[in-house]
Amino acid sequence: MEQDQPHGAPTLFQDASVFTVDYIPDPDPYRMIQAEELAYALRPGMAGSTPINVICRGLTGAGKTACVRAIFSEIEALTSRFVPVYVDCRVDRTRYSILSRISLNLTGRPPAEEMDESEVMGTIADHLLERRAVLVVCLDDIEHISRSVINHVLSVLLRMHETWPGVKVGVVAIVNRPYSNLGSTLEASTFSVFHPTEIIFPPFCVDEIRGILRDRVQQGLSLGVLSDEAFALVVERTMECGNIRLGLSLLRQAVMTAEQDGRRSVTREDVCTAYKNWCDGFLQAICVPK
């Protein structure tokens, strides 16, 4: 839990939200090729047809989620007839919770406790047919759900038109294991209706990492808060890890430390402390018995 900053302490953030994983940036210029490929796959949905299913593949922190959510945000701003729904499979890991999340996003209210899966599916279908809308579902971190859940959820979503004629659904699956074969986990009947196109997100190079973090610093911090030396260390640690989320976390935590100390600038030591805390938390997470 974040601590309240001391009374009268300087505010070093202009917008702290730009350093969080929930922040939805404009389409990243370093991911413009992938954004265009995703937009092309989803374009049929804008015309009322079924979109092309997609797998977005790359290491954690390679910009997949930010890219998908940016495109989803643009879709929502353009039309109400093509409805994007984001599902975090680290949070929703069962068949029922995933379908309930979709229903909640569509209707604005959770399914009644007594509703079974078929009734939840009926609610989703009725909502889409009433609005004459096309649905696209992003299943982020899809590898966090079991093979049986993956097969079931993909099958019921992509076969909805068989029970409810006129319903059109597409799926975007985000995979954080570049060399895993999602198709090998799917039953033949599921793969036949999924049949995705793949969009590859290669790791960011050092110049891209520097550019992305510099953009966030300019958006999120007051002028002069971060020294060139401290910023260079953040870039270095991020490049070593290959995860842009680490850089955002280091910036946020280092600035919070400076704020709590009542200082107007972030030091290299603040970044070192933030990195040590991140490493300790990572080691603790991977060492917890499953």
Taking the chain (290 residues) in runs of 10, the rounded mean pLDDT of each run is 48 91 78 95 96 95 92 94 96 96 95 92 97 97 94 96 97 87 84 94 93 93 92 94 90 93 91 88 54
- Residue 123 buriedness (CB in 10 A; 0-12 / 13-18 / 19+): buried
Identify which of 86, 105, 103 has the alpha carbon closest to the alpha carbon of residue 160: 103
CB atoms within 10 A of CB 51: 24
In whole angstroms, give the CA distance from residue 254 to residue 269: 9
The pLDDT of residue 185 is 82
The pLDDT of residue 3 is 45
The pLDDT of residue 290 is 46
Q: What pTM does this model have?
A: 0.87
The pLDDT of residue 283 is 56
The pLDDT of residue 24 is 81
Amino acid at 186: L
The pLDDT of residue 287 is 53
